[in-house]
Amino acid sequence: MIDLFIIKVGGNVIDNPALLQTFLEKFAAIPGKKILIHGGGKIATRIGDKLGIESKYIDGRRITDADTIDVVTMVYGGLVNKQLVAKLQANGCNAIGLTGADANIIPAVKRPVKEIDYGFVGDVYTEKLHIAPLQTLLEAGVTPVFAPLTHDGNGQILNTNADTIASSLAIALSAFYSVRLIYCFEKKGVLRDPNDDEAVINLINQEIYQQLLAEKVLSDGILPKLQNAFGAIGNGVKEVLIGHADDVLSNTTAKVAGTLIC
């Protein structure tokens, strides 16, 4: 039996007010222990533009320079995080907004400069995750809501991939709970045909995954999620599910609507 759901909601949902509202209503209705990790969406880019801070990307990844880390800290850890918490409270879910710096839960290391300098981007220091505070909150019936920010232990906030934060927390907490890790985004699951929203692959194991890779039918955007999923399962997480934000409530039951990774 699953006794903890760790749910990551993507930036495209954050950017869609109607989709986000439906998601939060359904998330709030999930019984038992749960944690929400949210992406940033495009709000930081819009606010950065208003402040005259240009957003820079390489291969679709944000370059987090000194000005940008200030913007994403304000937007992800402040505006987006607290709006989500307030809306969850309105739906009867007693939530608390957090970053990885709070209670030293998610230490990270600044990504080393190789071919590309990503700036103040953090890679989770998995060996030093401090999850006792999370257990205290969960056992008290409080739902943690994490912004995609960590810290380096020396006072520096780091921008960190929300999918990675979700899988890292799921792995660490799987020592104490039976965990289902759920990635929610704007598609119904992993699709055999990226142009057909109904072409959901309901089950993927390692054998099927290797076959799909060989056939080159998976979109580039879904590959990091699958890599995180198999990494989590290989490190103690019971189940990983990828599905539509609208299906989050049903995807916490035995009758799932998305793609189950095992």
Is 32 one of the annotated binding-site residues? no
Is 159 one of the annotated binding-site residues? yes
Closest listed residue to residue 243, CA positions, set 201, 213, 207: 201
Is 41 one of the annotated binding-site residues? yes
CB 32: neighbour CB atoms within 10 A?
11
Contacts of 195 (CB under 8 A, 6+ apart): none
The residue type of 194 is: P
Contacts of 171 (CB under 8 A, 6+ apart): 126, 231, 232, 235, 236, 237
Is 236 one of the annotated binding-site residues? no
- Rg (C-alpha) for the chain, rounded Å, is 18
Q: Is there a contact between 146 and 165 (Cβ–Cβ < 8 Å)? A: yes
Q: Is there a contact between 19 and 186 (Cβ–Cβ < 8 Å)? A: yes
Pairwise CA distance, residues 99 & 106, whole Å: 8
Q: Which residues does the annotation place in the binding site? A: 40-41, 62, 159
Q: Which residues does the annotation place in the binding site for substrate? A: 40-41, 62, 159
